[in-house]
Amino acid sequence: MASRELFGLAATALRSNLAPLAHPYKLTFSITYRCQSRCLTCNIWEMKPVNELTLHEIEEFARLNTSFRWIELTGGEPFLRSDLIQIVKAFREHSKGLYLLTMPTNSLCNAEMVLSRVKEVLATGVPRLSITVSLDGYRELHDRIRGVPGNFDRAISIFKGLREMQKAHRNLFVIFGYTMSKFNQGQFEKTFEAVRNEIPDLSYNDFHINLGQVSEIYYSNTDLDMKAPRDALLGELESIVGKRRFQLGAIPAIESAFLRNLVGYVRTGRTPLRSRSLDASLFLDSYGSVFPSIMWGRKIGNIRESGYSLDPIWRNTGAEEVRRLIREDKEPSGWTACEAYQALVGNVPRILI
């Protein structure tokens, strides 16, 4: 079963190299903006979300939009939704080709609850589940950046618990997510050693690297200054990439391509590839609004106004205008994993070089 769904995702991604897709295969969905962190790089935690999509609304959206093969449930903190498992079940039931489900966590929810819910998600039969544990520094630094004392130790505890769970669930993948900014510039090696003291078999491949970036609609952080000096950032990033070990497989190849292009993005300040926004993917916020991506605050519709179907939104004049701007290389500059992966698999030669 899993191999069939993996083949379906791969075939759809490869087909996107040749022509526009009729429906998106990747959904990035912020299921809540509630968050317990107090991050220096993000203002989501300052939001007081009301009237977020209900479980019934999400179930209706899942029933009417069945093309998703890859879903990222993000936040805020996604584990704060008590109906998380019902949300996963809705997409699992209706998107028959779903292969990959990804979720981040800030590790501030009760560890036993998080691990229990991960087991419940795995019990739905999702072929591949990836959990990213946010970690932006060694103990004192991470807790300062995230604004919550004890957050480092909670992240280590949850990572260890998920690693143990992997022994019984080969379809579970866990990785640390490290966001580089001026607040932790030059501190990755110290962070790596601090984590390796807790997890002796740790490798550089256990970290996914992101840049702290600005988004009005997602991070709500246009008022924050988080950029590290370019040359220092570039040197640190090149050092990290150089210490990763080679791994076989499509996902490691895409991750390596993402990081190589991230180096290029830092060096030039230009997006390495056109995105596949509103072709392969979209961003749905917790209020039902549809955007091209987390980085592009150009709202093209709301599922509450379209009867929870994407079709009217996908084909409206706003969506066509966004696609025109992308073709003309006029989209906002950025290189985040939420959009970069489908841009890469929509341009296979860039994975190989």
Condensed to tens digits (0 to 9), the pLDDT of residues 177-217 reads: 999 999 999 999 999 999 999 999 999 999 999 999 888 88
DSSP 8-state secondary structure symbol assigned to residue 39: -
- One-character DSSP codes across 172-194: EEEEEEEEE-TTTTT-HHHHHHH
pLDDT digits (tens, 9 = 90+) for 98-136: 999 999 999 999 999 999 999 999 999 999 999 999 999
Q: What is the distance between the alpha carbons of residues 353 and 347, in angstroms, rounded to a whole number?
A: 11
Question: How buried is 156 (Cβ within 10 angstroms: 0-12 exposed, 13-18 middle, 19+ buried)?
Answer: buried
In the prediction, which pLDDT does 301 show?
A: 98
Q: What is the distance between the alpha carbons of residues 318 and 66, in angstroms, rounded to a whole number?
A: 22
DSSP 8-state secondary structure symbol assigned to residue 229: P
pLDDT digits (tens, 9 = 90+) for 20-36: 888 999 999 999 999 99
Of the pLDDT bands very low, low, confident and very high (cuts 50, 70, 90), residue 334 is confident
Whether the Cβ atoms of residue 84 and residue 30 lie closer than 8 Å to each other: no
Degrees (nearest 5) of the Cα angle 243, 247, 248? Answer: 160
Q: What is the distance between the alpha carbons of residues 42 and 25, in angstroms, rounded to a whole number?
A: 28
Of the pLDDT bands very low, low, confident and very high (cuts 50, 70, 90), residue 6 is confident
What is the average pLDDT across 332-342?
A: 87
Alpha helices in the chain (DSSP H): 2-15, 55-64, 84-94, 111-123, 139-146, 151-166, 188-198, 230-242, 250-268, 311-314, 317-327, 337-345, 349-352
Phi, psi of 294 (to 5 degrees): -70, -20
In the prediction, which pLDDT does 278 show?
A: 94
Using alpha carbons, select from 201, 149, 189, 158 the residue that is nearest to residue 176: 158
Instruction: Reply yes or no on whether the pLDDT at 168 is more than 60.
Output: yes
What does the block give as tokens for 50?
A: 């009301």
Instruction: Reply yes or no on whether the pLDDT at 267 is more than 60.
Output: yes
What is the average pLDDT across 311-319?
A: 96
Percent of the chain with pLDDT over 70: 98
Of the pLDDT bands very low, low, confident and very high (cuts 50, 70, 90), residue 247 is confident
In the prediction, which pLDDT does 339 show?
A: 87
Q: Which residue has the higher pLDDT, 17 or 300?
A: 300
What does the block give as tokens for 98?
A: 């779903």
Residue with tokens 């989501």: 44
Q: Is 301 in a helix, a strand, or coil?
A: strand
In the prediction, which pLDDT does 49 show?
A: 93
- pTM: predicted TM-score of the whole model, two decimal places: 0.94
The residue count of the chain comes to 353
Instruction: Reply yes or no on whether the pLDDT at 349 is more than 80.
Output: no
Q: Which residue has the higher pLDDT, 157 or 8?
A: 157
In the prediction, which pLDDT does 242 show?
A: 94
What is the average pLDDT across 52-74?
A: 97
Q: What is the distance between the alpha carbons of residues 30 and 20, in angstroms, rounded to a whole number?
A: 25
In the prediction, which pLDDT does 2 show?
A: 65
Q: Which domains does the chain have, with CATH numbers?
A: 2-11+24-128+211-352 (3.20.20)
What is the average pLDDT across 286-312?
A: 96
In the prediction, which pLDDT does 337 show?
A: 87
In the prediction, which pLDDT does 68 show?
A: 97
Instruction: Reply yes or no on whether the pLDDT at 259 is more than 80.
Output: yes
Whether the Cβ atoms of residue 71 and residue 95 lie closer than 8 Å to each other: yes
For the chain, the distance separating the N- and C-terminal CA atoms, rounded to the nearest angstrom, is 32
Of the pLDDT bands very low, low, confident and very high (cuts 50, 70, 90), residue 345 is confident
In the prediction, which pLDDT does 353 show?
A: 56
Query: For the chain, what is the radius of gyration of the CA atoms?
Result: 19
